[in-house]
Structure 1
Amino acid sequence: MMHANLMNNYFNLNSVYTEEDFRHHFQMRRHVFELLLRDVQQVNPYFGQKRDKAGRPGFSPYQKVTVALRMMAYGSSANSMDETHDMSESTCLDALEQFCDTIVQVYKDKYLCEPNQEDLNRFIRKAEDRGFPGMIGSLDCMHWDWKNRPIGWQ
């Protein structure tokens, strides 16, 4: 039932929500979601749909990935997913852990590598263009002069 609702709302040809709605709800475009879904399914059997002891279908790959992404995008707790996705807290946590581990496994070589000198130069130029010179490796903004910051932070 929940899988059918999810598909009808977001993924079917004449879905309830538009592409813009999808992007707002998932914090990404639909084709990016589909790419992530395909990649995690190819690598990790957890994202296949299994049957329970009674032969009923378990959670679909779409449901598992949706729950993981919603928890990350909105900082939602695992137990809050029960109401909207009919998935227990422990299953949500499993889906999140499996998703994160699989994403790292799939994309680490391409996206999770140390920047080379060319990357660093590009990052420095971007930071300088935005008014943050010398900000490589300093995400805490400690080098940013904030004249009205609270006294307790000075």
Structure 2
Amino acid sequence: MVEEIPLFFPPTKPIDEAELQDTGTSSKKRYLRRHHESGQETLMADYFVEESEYNEDIFRHRLRISKRLFLKIVSDVEANNPWFEEGVDARMKKGFTQLQKVTSAIKQLATGNTPDENDEYLHMAERTSRECLEYFCETVCKIYAPEFLRRLTSHDMALLYQAHEDKHHLPGMVGSLDCTHFV
């Protein structure tokens, strides 16, 4: 015969209405100091100082863009969108630099990183990283769309043919590739 063990449940206290209304989301935001100044220092030491940790080949491999083009895009974006200018926050602390913001956006685009992956390297919150990507894409489209996001002209095609022939020594190959039929 199996002996039954009585289950003991402690008496429950009455539930307070305030507890029912609190769903776990507090009206106070928790502040997490991310030390973004050290993120800037690391970025500079890795790529942008005279004796940087990594050379231009590694920069190109990691961000899928040359350093010269990257710096041109940083200056163009900063000149065309005040959000990319370095500012101060409500605590009078320096904000993220243009290099950090553009690096965050380009790393997300080039490598498919999620926004929260920038926290460890750039010390940037997921939300800020997402904003960087959003503002970066808006600004780049505004700046470069008239020149680069347009239909190709016959002159553009001639330049592409010439560049392809110079590099691969195969004349007239652009039109023969699948999915690149130009009218």
- TM-score, normalised to structure 2's length? 0.67
Residue by residue over 1:65-101, the C-alpha shift from the partner in whole angstroms, topping out at 9 and shown as x without a partner, is: 0000000010011122212221111111110011111
Cα deviation, 1:49-76, whole Å, max 9, x if unaligned, reads 1111111101110000000000001001
CA distance in 1, matches of 2:178, 2:155: 17
Q: How many residues matched?
A: 135
Q: Identify unmatched segments of 5+ residues in structure 1.
A: 138-154
SS in 2 for 1:51: coil
| Mapped pair 1:83 → 2:130 | no
- RCO (CA 8 Å, sep 6+): is it higher in 1 or 2? 2
Change (3 A) 1:118 1:14: same
- Asked if 1:70 is matched to 2:130, the reply is no
Distance 1:98 1:117 in 2: 33
Residue 109 of structure 1: aligned partner: 146
Corresponding position: 1:127 with 2:164: no
Which runs of 5 or more residues in structure 2 are unaligned?
1-37, 162-171
Query: What is residue 16 of structure 2 aligned with on the other side?
Result: none
Query: Corresponding residue for 2:8?
Result: none
Q: Write the distance in 2 (CA, Å) between the matches of 1:126 and 1:93.
A: 39
Taking structure 1 as the reference length, the TM-score comes to 0.79
RMSD between superposed Cα atoms in Å: 2.0
> Alignment identity in percent?
29
**Corresponding residue for 1:19?**
56
The structure number with the bigger radius of gyration is: 2
Higher relative helix content: 1
* d(CA) in 1 for partners of 2:95, 2:179: 51
Q: By how many angstroms is 1:24 displaced?
A: 1.2
